[in-house]
Amino acid sequence: MTDYSPLLSTIPSIKHGFGNKSALLPELLLPYRATLPEKKQVHGVRIADIHHPAQVCGEADGFFTREPGILISVLTADCLPVIFSRHDGSAIAAVHAGWRGLLDGILEQMAQRINREDRTSHWVASIGPAAGSCCYEVSEELITRFQQALPLPPELISPHHHHLDLAAIAENKLRALGFAAVDHAGSCTICTPNTDPRLPQHFKYTSYRRNSHRRAADPHHPGIKGRNQYSGIIITS
Ligand SMILES: [Zn+2]
């Protein structure tokens, strides 16, 4: 089942969805696939302005458009997808934020882009499925970097020993940047089981982290590979 944001679902002129293993691109966005910008995500902080369907925009990890009929999306496995809409659905955006993007300020870049001609207080944001604090173990050094860089309580950044809470960090940043509302859709990409009995897979989402652990445990295991899932949004009218 595709994940939807309750917040974004209240805006009638847009469609959105967060994909998973069984539908990498959510079904209701499939008809718009050919309009997707051509891009390369590089864990950077560049935001591309999208004006034309299938626009070639090079290296970018954030996308912004006011044009109806152009699907924008980010591809993620364990990184954090964030999709945005103006409250009236007249402009939309999407961001790919892993730990590097969060540290380097991609959410701040998106807020700056919005504030160029508008205000983030007219916008809402939804944080999609990503590696959860239940599973996302990182080095002590990385936890310390976050704690030194961000004015947030240490237990919010790392609620368990060596575990990073990407979603909580993102939510706090988005609120501090003035977004009117923030919600969460989906769950941990590493441990969420598949609950649809019609589907053979064990887990709901593709996960780079889970696959690399399994590859490390069993390097000869065939077929352990993950394709990233899309988080997408489009203005339809
Ligand atoms: Zn988990």
80 Cα: distance to centroid of ligand 1 (angstroms): 14
For the chain, report the end-to-end CA distance as a whole number of angstroms. 25
The pLDDT confidence band at residue 227, using thresholds 50, 70 and 90, is confident
Give mean pLDDT, residues 197-212: 90
The verdict on residue 144 lying in a domain is yes
- Long-range Cβ contacts of 140-145 (<8 Å, 24+ apart): 142/99, 145/103
> Helix (H) and strand (E) counts for the chain?
7, 11
Kindly report the CATH number assigned to the domain that includes residue 130: 3.60.140.10
Is residue 1 one of the residues assigned to a domain? no
Please write the tens of the pLDDT for every residue from 163-173. Answer: 999 999 999 99
List pLDDT tens digits, range 95-111: 999 999 999 999 999 99
What pLDDT does 225 receive? 54
Q: Which domain holds residue 170?
A: 6-235
Distance from the alpha carbon of residue 186 to the mean position of ligand 1, in angstroms: 12
Q: What is the pLDDT of residue 226?
A: 57
The CA distance from 69 to 175, in Å, is 29
CA of residue 188 to ligand 1 center, whole Å: 5
CA of 51 to the centre of ligand 1 (A): 37
Number of compact structural domains in the chain: 1
Please give the distance, rounded to the nearest whole angstrom, from the Cα atom of residue 131 to the centre of ligand 1: 6
Q: Quickly state the pLDDT bin for 221 (edges 50, 70, 90).
A: low
